[in-house]
């Protein structure tokens, strides 16, 4: 078992840096709690789906789809609040019901996939109204001077009919590097579009559906592209498009591509365009940074996806939902730290956020047994980790491959694998992070990174040589 201590820099040297500070226990968060089904105040991270996050002077708020395990959800957009991105409290519904215009247009009985932004002194809540399998959909807008309301409905922002090729749901509003405001949207049908907004009204500056920036080759659950979210990273001067692929119930997974322009083209690590519907296999397009997984024998997660992204100072976080492996009817809110590769690609921590910060790691903490996982783009559903051993002598043992590992003395590790059967080698550059092991309820090291083909790799230490 790892023995990680929370102490500082006394006696540290260049060859023996200070012991890292691991996050303390976040406390128990109950899973599959049937006693709380009808008690929203006890839901914490349960019944969260399609979360959109916003930071305010009053704390962090997540607005999410109207869902409820074991019954019908009250309509109106669910709202939660946190002071630390770890512990979440129920606030209530933003709206008293589906607004009348949205209900008349779409027939919606609940609201989906909200996004909240602040413009000047006003908060804007964008919501989706639709029904499953329909393109008779509407993105609406409500405003308030307060993040907790009351909200005033401002009607339709974008509407689609069943005869249209696209679907007006899943809005995300983003301001570009030049101060222009845009809305990226779309789900399942017709791909992802982006349109410029009038900043004073929060509605489209011009008629029409805007520009297509992502699509897939078929309208099926395993060919879906949904839940777009765009951020701009000033350091790399790039726009990053996050989307979710495949079935939201079974094998959702998050993909990323980037562009020099907010309107695209967005390309992945291998230069494939997100609009290329002729490329086969389609699952190869986009960097898969998060999918269903199981680390070791611990219960894992199914269909993580429909994310938002928070930039908080110099830190980035991905906020998404995931379904528990033991009962996929239960959807939970996850927050994970995003790290960035040297060449400017986001990678995601294999563990949920518990207050960790990136810092230098002593080399002596690295050797030991690790659960190792490759986010294979071709795998639908859960991916099972394998066990590897990182030796103090720089060797890697485990699975069908052997290799070597090296360390830069700070927090970056290079794994070089050799496969004599296939006469090839592969190199993976990963970053270490002192984290909380939510599965085993203890502190541990994790790593996250990519290989030379843009495939995400994860690791979690499960025993050490300490």
Q: Which residues are catalytic?
A: 50, 226
Rounded CA gap, 35 and 28, in Å? 16
Count of CB atoms within 10 A of residue 220's CB?
A: 11
Q: Is 33 exposed, middle or buried (0-12, 13-18, 19+ CB in 10 A)?
A: middle
Token pair belonging to 180: 């222009």
∠ CA 39-45-51 to the nearest 5 degrees?
115
Rounded to whole angstroms, how far apart are CA atoms 236 and 258?
A: 10
Gap between the Cα atoms of 362 and 125, Å rounded: 45
Could you tell me which residues are beta bridge partners of residue 4? Answer: none
**Upstream peptide bond of 265 is cis (omega within 30 degrees of 0):** yes
CA distance 43 to 64: 13
Q: Cβ(115)–Cβ(63) under 8 Å?
A: yes
Nearest to 430 by CA among 361, 330, 328, 331: 361
Closest CA to 232 of 306, 180, 269: 180
Neighbours of 424 (CB within 10 A): 10
Q: Is the dihedral of CA 126, 129, 134, 136 positive or negative?
A: negative
Cβ atoms of 324 and 332 closer than 8 Å = yes
Write the burial class of residue 347 (CB in 10 Å: 0-12 exposed, 13-18 middle, 19+ buried).
Answer: buried
């Amino acid at each position: 078992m790892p023995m990680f201590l929370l102490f500082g820099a006394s006696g540290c040297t260049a060859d023996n840096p200070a012991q890292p500070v691991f996050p303390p226990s976040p406390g128990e968060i109950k899973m599959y709690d049937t006693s709380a089904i009808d008690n929203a105040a006890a839901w914490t991270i349960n019944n969260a789906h399609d979360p959109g996050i916003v930071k305010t002077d009053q704390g962090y708020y997540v607005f999410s789809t109207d869902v409820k395990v074991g019954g019908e959800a009250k309509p109106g957009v669910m709202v939660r609040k946190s002071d630390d991105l770890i512990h979440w409290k129920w606030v209530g519904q933003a709206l008293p019901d589906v607004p009348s215009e949205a209900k008349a247009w779409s027939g919606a009985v609940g609201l989906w996939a909200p996004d909240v932004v602040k413009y000047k002194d006003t908060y804007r809540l964008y919501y989706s109204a639709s029904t499953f399998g329909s393109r008779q959909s509407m993105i609406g807008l409500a405003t308030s001077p307060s993040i907790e309301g009351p909200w005033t409905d401002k009607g339709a922002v974008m509407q689609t009919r069943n005869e249209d090729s696209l679907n007006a749901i899943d809005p995300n509003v983003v301001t570009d590097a030049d101060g222009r405001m845009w809305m990226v949207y779309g789900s399942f049908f017709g791909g992802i579009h982006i349109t410029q907004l009038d900043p004073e009204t929060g509605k489209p500056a011009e008629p029409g559906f805007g520009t297509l920036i992502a699509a897939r080759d078929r309208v099926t659950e395993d060919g879906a592209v949904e839940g777009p979210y765009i951020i701009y990273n000033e350091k790399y001067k790039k726009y990053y498009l996050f989307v979710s692929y495949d079935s939201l119930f079974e094998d959702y997974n998050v993909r990323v591509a980037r562009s020099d322009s907010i309107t695209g083209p967005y390309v992945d690590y291998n230069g494939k365009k997100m609009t290329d519907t002729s490329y086969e296999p389609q699952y190869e397009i986009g960097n898969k940074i998060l999918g269903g997984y199981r680390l070791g024998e611990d219960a894992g997660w199914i269909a993580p996806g429909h994310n938002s992204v928070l930039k908080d100072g110099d830190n980035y976080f991905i906020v998404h939902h995931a379904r528990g492996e033991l009962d996929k009817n239960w959807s939970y809110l996850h927050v994970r730290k995003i790290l960035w590769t040297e060449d400017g690609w986001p990678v995601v921590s294999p563990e949920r956020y518990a207050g960790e910060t990136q810092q230098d790691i002593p080399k002596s903490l690295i050797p030991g047994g690790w659960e190792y996982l490759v986010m294979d783009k071709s795998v639908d559903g859960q991916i099972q980790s394998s066990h590897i051993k990182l030796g103090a002598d720089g060797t890697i043992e485990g699975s069908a491959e052997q290799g070597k590992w090296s360390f830069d003395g700070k927090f970056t590790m290079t794994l070089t694998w050799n496969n004599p059967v296939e006469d090839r080698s592969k190199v993976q550059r990963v970053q270490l992070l002192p984290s909380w092991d939510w599965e085993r309820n203890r502190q541990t090291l994790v790593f996250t990174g990519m290989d030379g083909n843009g495939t995400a790799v994860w690791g979690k230490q499960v025993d050490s040589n300490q």
